[in-house]
Structure 1
Amino acid sequence: MSDIGKVAMERDRVYNRHGWTFQERGAGDLAVLWGQNANTQPLFFWLIAYVYSTPGLLARLRTEIAPYCTLSDTMPLEINSMNLPGLFANGPLLKASIFETYRMANEATSIRYVARPVTIDDGACKHELQPGMFISAPHSVNQRDPLVYPEPDQFLSDRFLETDAESGKTVPRYGKVRPWGTGAAMCKGQTFAEREIMVLGAAIISLWDISPASGTWKIPAMIPGTGVKKPLTEMRVVITRRVPP
């Protein structure tokens, strides 16, 4: 089994250590794969599309990432090491760009069971919710609301950056966006998924140049997906190894 990846082998050792059956392993792995294909990978596509198509953003991100992503001195460029704690703690622009990608492409929805009678007054009428009902809260409704986010159809990488009152540092904050749902049922993989996207994003940004095959960037229209919206049409690009100036 020398051709099996290290991650798969380590997972197998963990399963054996805890005595998981093959049925239990399948259930656990299916949940991970579903999350990756429905959310993480589509969201990463949109992040890269926005980063490379937004004028000036790529250069700013490369400057921010450089202290935490050590590249080789020879060509083609390779990543020698990555300081992950440093990147997570000191990558506000990258994280804010991810937050803005959540706002543009994520379709988080919370499902709740009504355990006791609830009355909701929305200003126009009252809604009586009875025990046994299920309600759906689509958090994405506010994400393109101009009253909540000015210029809602524009990708603004600095939208979620704020100045911390105590430290004076620029920090990324979620604000009103809810990409992971809310409450006890909030996505349990939130931290892992977000850091995964940061690491992959930093790697791609550090090593690759991406340009539109047509010569002009055109972000595809979006259609509903399982958790993250999907592109309506294909997006053709030219990918080349980065050559530092």
Structure 2
Amino acid sequence: MSAAKLHDELLTLLLAGHEATTNAIAWALYWIHRTPTVLENLQSELKNEGGNLTPIALTQLPYLTAVCNETLRISSVAFLSFPREVAAPMALMDHPLEPGTRVYACIDLKHRRPDLYPEPEQFRPERFLDRKYSMSESLPFGGGVRRCIGDVLAQFEMKLIVAQILSHYCLTLANQMPETPKRRGVNVAPASGVKMIVQSPAER
């Protein structure tokens, strides 16, 4: 790529995806603090293994990774994939599709299939420790050759920020009302913004 093209791609990664990553982090903090056992397990991992790790090694911690994967499953920041346009007559699961038809994958419905994710409404990071899901089963960033170009960077940022927040602050949800998703452009965000009370460890 030319220098100008590389510059444009980097700006896309850093700027265009920041809102989706921010929403994912908000959802992660919400689910972690709605599920006490998850908070305890994650804090234990960060305390016992994360203290002296480099940022890259920190983001490879298994339970932290599982928590972030489960967050992206249960609270997809995008409900639909980018569309694919049918180029030639075809059938999809016995449904005839004509050229020009746009087809979308519903990420949220895929992530709530009980045959893939037993008890799909439960926040259970352990499912990502017990099983490795294929790219057609777990697709928070879409799939195929048009999978989101920023997926690796977004996951790195998400894990690093969640780990740093939980390592340096004690948080509690400002209220226990269930959080609901709200469409904001192409992204899906927590409707109330996940309000939390923040304390340093010394204040507790």
What amino acid is the match of 1:222?
A: P
Q: Which string of whole-angstrom CA distances, capped at 9 and with x for unpartnered residues, describes residues 81-104 of structure 1? A: 641232233x11111111111111
Residue 208, structure 1, aligned to residue 169, structure 2: yes
Unaligned runs of 5+ in 2: none
Residue 116, structure 1, aligned to residue 88, structure 2: yes
- TM-score normalised over the length of structure 1: 0.70
Unaligned runs of 5+ in 1: 1-17, 71-80, 163-171
| 2:57 corresponds to | 86
For residues 191-230 of structure 1, the aligned pairs below 5 Å read 191-214=152-175, 217-230=176-189
Residue 54, structure 1, aligned to residue 35, structure 2: yes
Shift of 1:66: 2.9
For residues 37-186 of structure 1, the aligned pairs below 5 Å read 37=19, 39-67=20-48, 69-70=50-51, 82-89=53-60, 91-106=61-76, 107-121=79-93, 126-162=94-130, 173-175=132-134, 176-186=137-147
Shift of 1:26: 7.0
- Paired residues of 2:170 and 2:198 also in contact (CA < 8 A): yes
What's the RMSD between the two structures over aligned residues? 2.8
SS at match of 1:238: strand
**Of the two, which has the highest radius of gyration?**
1
The one of the two structures with greater contact order (alpha-carbon pairs below 8 A, sep at least 6) is: 2
The structure carrying a bigger strand percent of its residues is 1
Decide whether aligned partners of structure 1 residues 213 and 136 sit closer, same or farther in structure 2, where only a CA change above 3 A counts.
closer
What amino acid is the match of 2:70?
A: E
CA distance in 1, matches of 2:23, 2:193: 13
SS at match of 2:199: strand
Shift of 1:152: 1.9
Count of aligned residue pairs for this structure pair? 199
Q: Identity of paired residues, percent?
A: 25
What amino acid is the match of 1:111?
A: P
- Paired residues of 2:63 and 2:125 also in contact (CA < 8 A): yes
